[in-house]
Amino acid sequence: MAKKTNCVINGKPYYRLTKTIGRKLVNGEEVAVRKSFYGSCKADAEAKYQAYLDKKNAGIETKTQYFGVLADGWISEFFVNDGSLKDSTKARYVAAWNRTFKPKNVKKARSKQALEIYHSSLDTITAKTLQSIYNEMAKNGVPVSEIKTIHKIMKKFYRYIEYEGLGRDVTGPLTIPKEKVNAADSEIRVWTDEEIKTILNNFDKADNRFRHRFLIVLAYYTGCRKSELLALTYDDITEDGVRITKTLAEVSDGLVNGKMKTHLAVTDPKTRKSVRTIPVDPVVLEELKLHKKWHKAEQLKNGYRSNYIFTTDSGEFYNNKNLDVAIFRYYKKIGVEPKTMHTYRHTYASNLCRFGVPIQTACVLLGHDSIETTARFYVNVAEDSKRNAAMLLRKAVEA
């Protein structure tokens, strides 16, 4: 029986199989990258396509080393298993890599050049190529902290490239664009006293008055990071205060079926000094009783069990985006301008300063590594205090 073919090349019959192997940008538009595989029959062509996929997943496509494929392979096999880095740090690096080189929404890409080099051969990537990407990201308003993260992962990746003899490290001459100073950004955003009163006294107007009530109360009275709050169990809150020992982070699973996957998990805290106990007002313990009673009823109703304080109605960890949407909806309903959950941390720190708490104490309560961090980012002096300080200057010379 003759083998089935569908094309002739140089007088010889072949079976041609054409597959989409990726996406790339052409004149600002995303288009499919297509590749043909030839065999003596359909089964032979399919076998060659499968062999190509196997090489691609290993980081090698035909005879060419492709930048994006190699980087994905290195991240999956090496980076996500690096024991010297915390899971939360690795997750942040991988998320930055995906946002830059593999964004879900191409139209919102941080750098079109970054998308274009993903399918480029490694030997075509130079220091100038990467520097152009950094510069484009800065021009597009990407925070310098994110560019620094990309730079760090690039340096690690290229050390691997050089060690394996696949190319030379081109990251040496790269520079990070200077952060633009914006006067508006220099002011730390906090909740006003009036806004806090409105937020804490209108839970009856929320879609579900108990679901996010205690999370907001705890954020205001402890100044904890959102990731620290979402990792709390009922055993972590006692009359002594709130014990912070863990954080909820997006942990990378590496490549799964060719795609970078992550999942939410409770991991070690941001730094050693993040482990701390924060004394709380008795009102927090009363709110905990209300929340626990409501949460226990929901667990019985929906058939799940969890010792974590904050869960979805099926007992899962909260997705950050969904949680923010729900809380923003509450702010809108009570007529308060929406701000991020981190605003409670800013407010807590500013209030410590405002009420005369020594900066050394504030540093410990906030879990900062150094007093400099506390002073630079979280001490927010009220306008009245600044005006009073200005008036004192004249009194000094009139005495």
* Residue 89: predicted pLDDT: 83
Average pLDDT over residues 33-47: 87
Residue 227 and residue 215 in contact, taking contact as beta carbons nearer than 8 Å: no
H or E segment and range at residue 95: helix 87-101
Average pLDDT over residues 148-153: 95
* Residue 123: predicted pLDDT: 85
Q: Is the dihedral of CA 262, 80, 132, 24 positive or negative?
A: negative
Average pLDDT over residues 303-325: 94
* Residue 243: predicted pLDDT: 97
Distance of CA 287 to the CA centre of its chain: 30
pLDDT tens-digit readout, 323-365: 999 999 999 999 999 999 999 999 999 888 888 888 899 999 9
pLDDT at 157 > cutoff 90 = yes
All structural domains of the chain, each given as residue ranges with its CATH number in brackets, are 7-57 (no CATH), 69-181 (1.10.150), 193-384 (1.10.443.10)
Token pair for residue 156? 């690690």
pLDDT tens-digit readout, 57-105: 655 555 457 899 899 889 988 998 888 887 778 888 888 998 899 887 7
pLDDT tens-digit readout, 101-142: 988 778 888 899 998 898 888 888 999 999 999 999 999 999
The secondary structure of 43-79 as a DSSP string is HHHHHHHHHHHHHHHTT-BTTB-BHHHHHHHHHHHTG
HSE-CB for 176 with a 13 A CA cutoff: 16
* Residue 63: predicted pLDDT: 47
Token pair for residue 47? 């076998």
Band of pLDDT at residue 393, cut at 50, 70 and 90: low
* Residue 28: predicted pLDDT: 58
Summary mean pLDDT of the chain = 86
Residues of the chain with pLDDT > 90, as a percent, come to 47
